[in-house]
Amino acid sequence: MYKIVRKEVLNPNVIRMSIEAPFIAKKGKAGQFIMFRVDEFGERVPLTIAGTNQEDGTVDIIYQIVGKSTRTLAAKNEGDEILDFVGPLGKPSALEGHEKACVIGGGVGTAIAYPTAVALHDLGSKVDVIMGFRNKDIVILEDEFAAASDNCYMMTDDGTYGEKGFVTVKLETLLEAGTEYDLVVAIGPVPMMKAVVDITKKYNIKTLVSLNPIMVDGTGMCGCCRVIVNNELKFACVDGPEFDGAEVDFEDLMLRNRSYIDEEREKDHECQNELAIAAAKAEAEKEA
């Protein structure tokens, strides 16, 4: 079991937790992720490592409440425990050797971008950050990003905070003004990452994106997280989750991510694993 040692509400739908997991805290790096399961009835859910504290032996996760598993996790408090917390999984971000980088986070994707900005800053790179949200009410991690960057730009779709417009508007403005980057890291909704790559291709800037396909086990066995990169089949969980954005087939990724959209929209959807366990228990009780 893994203890929740800290819980913080970042906005009404986004939670940050610190989980007691000394081994992962010692080994986890920017770009890697964990798989958690709240209890024996829960599904496996991948979440990017949002930070580690080796002294305390804790790992930070930041997640949006979007389904049953994240609702169940959000209902827990400091001192409570969860059943599984496995990692670190995936490959660490390749961030060494860059003089000036731009880290772009969209929505809850900023939680994934944060450890990347910190890692680049700690490596001595100059770091610009562009954060994008729908409105002021859902802004998260602004102070943390400001501390890990040379310039932090805030964008909101409706202009209620920072500058009005998408993150791509700010990126293109900076590039057109002569700002030079040797690395861009874009993390957020797939259309946003694709739009960033469309811009950076024109300037021949290396761009890393963190992909979020459907994932079950996180070890490459299930094959659900397959993506097309440089016209080759890759598994995001073991070959990624970060890839060169210029090589990613975003159309295929978006198509695969919509595979279960109808089921996801069903408010009363129940996990098939939970139903199977419940049925087995009922059968065992009947036989007893």
**84: domain CATH number?**
2.40.30.10
Cα 273 to Cα 250: distance, rounded to the nearest angstrom: 30
- Residue 113 reports pLDDT greater than 70: yes
**116 and 143 within one domain:** yes
Cβ atoms of 154 and 167 within 8 Å: the answer is no
Name the residue among 205, 169, 204, 193 with its Cα closest to residue 251.
193
Question: What does the mean pLDDT of the chain come to?
Answer: 88
Do the domain assignments include residue 123?
Answer: yes
> Residue 186's domain is classified under what CATH number?
3.40.50.80
Do the domain assignments include residue 279?
Answer: no
**114 and 253 within one domain:** yes
DSSP code of 110? H
Cα 78 to Cα 80: distance, rounded to the nearest angstrom: 6
Name the residue among 137, 100, 131 with its Cα closest to residue 113.
131
Do the domain assignments include residue 286?
Answer: no
**68 and 125 within one domain:** no
The string of DSSP codes covering 198-260 is HHHHHHT--EEEE-----SSSSSSS-TTEEEETTEEEEHHHH-SEEEGGGB-HHHHHHHHTTT
Question: Domain boundary at 89, 122, 144, which?
Answer: 89
Do the domain assignments include residue 68?
Answer: yes
**188 and 45 within one domain:** no
Do the domain assignments include residue 275?
Answer: no
Question: What tokens does 174 get?
Answer: 């900076």
Give the residue numbers spanning the domain of 75. 2-89
**170 and 237 within one domain:** yes
pLDDT digits (tens, 9 = 90+) for 44-77: 899 999 989 999 999 999 999 888 889 999 999 9
More confident residue, 279 or 13: 13
Cα 167 to Cα 215: distance, rounded to the nearest angstrom: 27
More confident residue, 161 or 224: 161
**Peptide bond preceding 189 in cis form (omega within 30 of 0):** no
**138 and 84 within one domain:** no
Question: Domain boundary at 89, 116, 149, which?
Answer: 89
- Residue 42 reports pLDDT greater than 70: yes
**76 and 210 within one domain:** no
What integer pLDDT is reported at residue 41 of this predicted model? 85
Do the domain assignments include residue 283?
Answer: no
What integer pLDDT is reported at residue 288 of this predicted model? 54
Cβ atoms of 216 and 44 within 8 Å: the answer is yes
**214 and 71 within one domain:** no
**149 and 20 within one domain:** no
* Predicted TM-score (pTM) of this structure: 0.83
**Peptide bond preceding 241 in cis form (omega within 30 of 0):** yes
What integer pLDDT is reported at residue 285 of this predicted model? 58
What integer pLDDT is reported at residue 287 of this predicted model? 58
- Helix ranges (DSSP H) in 12-123: 22-27, 68-74, 110-122
More confident residue, 118 or 212: 118
What integer pLDDT is reported at residue 213 of this predicted model? 79
Question: Domain boundary at 59, 89, 119, which?
Answer: 89
The share of the chain scoring above pLDDT 90, in percent, equals 65
Question: What tokens does 254 get?
Answer: 């978006």
Do the domain assignments include residue 241?
Answer: yes
**122 and 62 within one domain:** no
Cβ atoms of 102 and 185 within 8 Å: the answer is yes
**Residue 89 backbone class (left: φ over 0; alpha: ψ -120 to 50; beta: rest):** beta
Total domains present in the chain: 2
**Buried-state track 177-203, b at ≥16 Cβ within 10 A, e below 16:** eeeebebbbbbbbbebbbbbbebbeee
